[in-house]
Amino acid sequence: MTGLWAGDALKGRVAVVNGAGSGIGRAIAGALAAAGADLMLSDLAEASAAQTAQGIGRGDLRVEVMASDVRAPAAMEALFARAEDRLGRVDVAISAAGIGGPAALAHEIASADWDAVIATNLTGAFLFAAAAARRMVAQKAGSITLVTSQVSEVAQRNCAAYVASKGGAKMLVKAMALDLAPYGVRVNALAPGFTDTPMTRGGDPGHADSRRQSLAHIPMGRMGRPEEIAAAAVFLASDAATYITGTTVFVDGGYLTV
């Protein structure tokens, strides 16, 4: 990635990125690398994370790859233990792992689909952030960012489980920021608007309706690019944001202004 964060804003720091195999997570990994961070990249599919690693164009960086399941406490512990073992410490932790679930009216969501979305997007966010926090509290420094969504602030039709999971993650960020501030650890949410990723390109008719509604509602008149979300992620991890914690940064093309 070139542009605002190309350079050494994060030189000498170690970042763990979960959900790094595609979409926004892949773009965040590239932006962190452009800013000089060493990386531990993780995804449910290790091959996808490895592809992200191969696309990073800075040979002066250390980049490690590991498969992990954000829903599993032991997997999150193992991810951060590996980062410490291979890279020495963890300064930045960003989770972009998430699923949308099938489109359905709220009262028609199957309990198994509800459980899957909450397990990944909310419980998984907690497990990731808690594993990061245990390391950062000990070193009395660190930045945790959870990728949420504009729907953490305003609901959309046919995706109640997703809306609930992202709204819960927003409040998790506030609670963790309050608990961790005395230890020098910052916790924030990064909330993308409607962004061009594999998940938003899904073929489900219900999701197609949501896409049309979203585009009609965006003042800038277009979808966001993953790289635009990634620039904000680097900002939150950098020294430019040392007095920012417990908040949500929306990158939504003006969606919430309407």
Find the CATH number of the domain harbouring 227. 3.40.50.720
Query: What is the radius of gyration, based on Cα positions, of the chain?
Result: 17
How far apart are alpha carbons 28 and 34 in whole angstroms? Answer: 10
- Whether 6 is in a domain gets the answer no
Within-domain flag for 1: no
Residue 249 DSSP symbol = E
Domain assignment of residue 4, yes or no: no
**257, part of any domain:** no
C-alpha–C-alpha distance, residues 91 and 82, integer Å: 14
Examine the pLDDT at 207 and tell me if it is beyond 70. no
Residue 9 falls inside a structural domain = no
Count of structural domains within the chain: 1
Considering the chain, what is the average pLDDT of its residues?
93
Could you read off the pLDDT of 116-170 as tens digits, one per residue? Answer: 999 999 999 999 999 999 999 999 999 999 999 999 999 999 999 999 999 999 9
Residue 235 lies in a domain: yes
Q: Which of 162, 183, 243, 255 is catalytic?
A: 162
pLDDT at site 102: 94
Burial class (CB in 10 A: 0-12, 13-18, 19+), 124: buried
User: 2 lies in a domain?
Assistant: no
pTM (two decimals): 0.93
Residue corresponding to tokens 């997703």: 162
C-alpha 140/C-alpha 62 separation (Å) is 23
CA dist., res. 156 & res. 206, Å (int): 11
Reported as a single tens digit per residue, the pLDDT across 234-248 is 999 999 999 999 999
Residue 8 belongs to some domain of the structure: no
For 25, half-sphere exposure in the C-beta direction (CA atoms, 13 angstrom radius) is: 31
Q: Is 162 a catalytic residue?
A: yes
Range of the domain at 20: 14-252
Query: 159 and 100 in contact (C-beta within 8 Å)?
Result: yes
